[in-house]
Amino acid sequence: MSTARTAVLFDFGGVLTSSVMTAFAEFGTEIGARRLPLRLLATDPESSALLVGHEEGRIGQREFEEGFARRLNEHGVHVEPHRLVDRILSRLRLDEEMIRLVADVRAAGHRVGLLSNSLGDDSYSGVDLLGMFDAVTISAEVGVRKPSHRAYLIACERLGALPEATIMIDDLELNITAAERAGLTGIVHHDAVSTAEQLWAALSQTGTASR
């Protein structure tokens, strides 16, 4: 008999907000190289190390900005490091449908938590995370990031839920694959409507509370 799913973990950027990938691409367009920022973060070892170091809280926003701006400059695009991250994050918009989904799931009797890889020293400004969620796990604060196995276990422990009783919603497939390997049920987020349909279906299948 399968374990009842009683808790849901939500990612922040790209799930509760508009696409982070689109924000990076738009920033790339602004500097005249649409694909370069994401390509460097994905394939350039130095850029990737900067991102991992920042998301794990080992370096701050300023050090990440200086290092990433240097890598962009070395690939032929001049970028000032000052407020580089803020310029990218300013393109994100909260997804009000997803915000309501969090509230609806919580009102239906399920525990809800945030598990987010942080970018920027103040990327959650203006959002009442502690009011929205029963538990908040941010990579820079715990020193480990998705897709690390430990990140999911820490988030579940903070939420007071077993991994097998928890659903993870993330916009990146590799993070969902890792969540499932850690014992969670995964939903890859594409849009609010399809995510809500999949989530309520997964919750109702276990006989737990639903809308």
What is the per-residue pLDDT across 113-158, written as a single tens digit (0 to 9) for each? 999 999 999 889 889 999 999 999 999 999 999 999 999 999 999 9
Mean pLDDT (the chain) is: 95
> Closest Cα partner for 88 from 26, 15, 17, 12?
26
Whether the model clears a pTM of 0.85, i.e. scores above it, the answer is: yes
**pLDDT (0 to 100) of residue 2:** 67
**pLDDT (0 to 100) of residue 126:** 87
CB 42 within 8 A of CB 48: yes
Does 207 have pLDDT greater than 70? no
* CATH code given to domain 7-18+93-204: 3.40.50.1000
Does 35 have pLDDT greater than 80? yes
Domain map of the chain by residue range? 7-18+93-204, 20-89
**pLDDT (0 to 100) of residue 91:** 96
**pLDDT (0 to 100) of residue 3:** 79
